[in-house]
Amino acid sequence: MDKFIVEGGYRLKGRVNLSGSKNAALPIMAATLLTDKECVLNNIPHLNDTLVMNKLVNILGGKVSFEGNTVRALNKTIKEFKAPYDLVKTMRASVYVMGALLGRYNKAEVAMPGGCIIGERPINLHLMGFEKLGAKIVIEHGYIKAKAKKLRGADIYLDTVSVGATANILMAGIYAQGQTIIRNAAQEPHIVDLCNFLNKLGARIKGQGTNTITLQGVTSLKGGTYNVISDYIEAGTFMVASAITNGKIELVNAPLDNIEAVKDNLIDTGSEVKRVKKNLLVKGLAKPRPSKIDTAPYPGFPTDMQAQWMALMSVAGGTSIVNETIWEKRFMHVPELNRMGADITTKGNTAVIKGVKGLSGAPVMVSDLRAGASLVLAGLRAKGTTEISRVYHLDRGYEKIEKKLEALGAKIRRFK
Ligand code: EPZ
């Protein structure tokens, strides 16, 4: 299993190009199953997760190629309607093919995704939405089977804001007769991107980016070429990399409208963040001020930036608080940060982070994607060498992270 060896203490400087958004690319790749015409998707990040989605669509009978950062999909006839356990267990976003298959063929079968390290991750809201559209759901032998004679538009309220349920219901409702309304919908930039992609193919979706999304069923979709948005979580991670190393990093073509929450908190804690044309320049400082954050659905502080933020607050000049409101078990990075000299205690979904003078390099282990990013950031700041194992988690969601950091002056190497 690959490892990263990070030698800390270097200030990062320079420009970084951001990759396409993983969490936009995954539902958009699944959504190509909704049309029999060719879709060309640009700016798809080359990651383990996007490779799994590529494989899954091909297993279902689609014809998808993935070269460089371009995916070409021509999913004329789908022969398989079952997303197998072997793939679903490696990537929960596989569940997105359910909405797409149900939407186009009125049937789908997906292995029941289990819980994962950050929480239980139920999909009851996805299934409730499918049922409201007219599907019958049966759970048998570890598989969820959805079937409908005909899907009809419905008024659907999500009692918890869910990215996955919003995306899945949208895909399932594309050809449903009449109007579908999703209330308390997720407003994340990746949901907006999925809607924009579907509209480009001829869907009739309105209200994306607000908490009420409306779609009018259509009878066919075209093909099209689409450029996926930049990854605002990758952007946030590099912003924190600049802050934590007292660096000066310019994010090229930054998703300026999507990173307000991280930007505001960085400014509040003393970093300088300014727009330079289409780029964003972030200047760190030796000792950030402490902060209090609560994670929340977009436009709140993203749970996917919580672990990285905690690395930064571990060297702040005072005590910080983090309340994790989305994922009940997303503190797996805490004991690892503490091994590096951080002083963090948790109780329930709250973490109290007492800023320490400095971190010291140590062997640490990655438990999940963003925890991995947090350990890399801590390693960049720490005195001495940090050996980070299980970096395959990082490879699921950060494209060439070590190469990008190296180009900014970090001493980080991958060992096979
Ligand atoms: C997406 O997961 C992201 N994954 C996650 O990113 C992200 O952390 C999460 O949204 C929240 O922003 C992808 O986009 C592929 P949810 P998703 O449904 O869709 C509860 C990363 O690091 N809920 O928005 O699975 C759920 O328990 C990953 O890139 C239900 O109760 O998340 C949670 O508390 C990790 N019932 C909350 O809603 C449901 O049916 C939000 O979950 C669905 C969700």
Mean pLDDT of 106-134: 91
Q: 122 in ligand 1 pocket by Cβ < 6 Å? A: yes
pLDDT, position 27: 98
Does the pLDDT of residue 345 top 90, yes or no? yes
Does the pLDDT of residue 116 top 90, yes or no? no
Residue 277 burial by Cβ neighbours in a 10 Å radius (0-12, 13-18, 19+): exposed
Asked, colleague to colleague, whether 3-19+230-415 and 22-227 share their fold, the answer is yes
How far is the CA of 97 from the CAs of 18, 27, 178, 334, in angstroms? 27, 8, 22, 34
CB atoms within 10 A of CB 413: 12
How far is the CA of 360 from the CAs of 8, 247, 275, 405, 411, in angstroms? 9, 19, 33, 19, 15
Alpha carbons 167 and 215: distance in angstroms, whole number:
12
Nearest C-alpha to atom 44 of ligand 1 is from which residue?
162
pLDDT in tens, 233-280: 999 999 999 999 999 999 998 999 999 999 999 999 999 999 999 999
The residue whose CB lies within 8 Å of the most ligand 1 atoms, and thus the one to mutate among 131, 159, 326, 394, is 326
The dotted CATH code for 3-19+230-415 is 3.65.10.10
Alpha carbons 329 and 116: distance in angstroms, whole number:
9
Q: Is-above-0.85 flag for pTM?
A: yes
Residue 25 banded pLDDT, cuts 50, 70, 90: very high
Alpha carbons 25 and 40: distance in angstroms, whole number:
12
Alpha carbons 252 and 391: distance in angstroms, whole number:
25
pLDDT in tens, 155-207: 999 999 999 999 999 999 999 999 999 999 999 999 999 999 999 999 999 99
Q: The CATH number of 22-227 is which of 3.65.10.10, 3.10.20.310, 3.40.50.2300, 3.40.50.2020? A: 3.65.10.10
pLDDT in tens, 55-110: 999 999 999 999 999 999 999 999 899 999 999 999 999 999 999 999 999 999 99
Q: 121 in ligand 1 pocket by Cβ < 6 Å? A: yes
Domains of the chain by residue range = 3-19+230-415, 22-227
The residue whose CB lies within 8 Å of the most ligand 1 atoms, and thus the one to mutate among 116, 130, 144, 160, is 160
Mean pLDDT of 129-156: 97
pLDDT, position 113: 87
Mean pLDDT of 359-370: 97
pLDDT, position 225: 98
Q: 303 in ligand 1 pocket by Cβ < 6 Å? A: yes
pLDDT, position 269: 98
Residue 139 banded pLDDT, cuts 50, 70, 90: very high
Just list the catalytic residues.
116
The residue whose CB lies within 8 Å of the most ligand 1 atoms, and thus the one to mutate among 97, 163, 368, is 163
Whether omega before 299 lies within 30 degrees of 0, making that bond cis, reads yes
Q: 99 in ligand 1 pocket by Cβ < 6 Å? A: no
Q: 282 in ligand 1 pocket by Cβ < 6 Å? A: no
Q: Which two three-digit tokens encode residue 251?
A: 């994010």
pLDDT, position 121: 87
84 CA distance to ligand 1 middle (Å): 21
Nearest C-alpha to atom 1 of ligand 1 is from which residue?
163
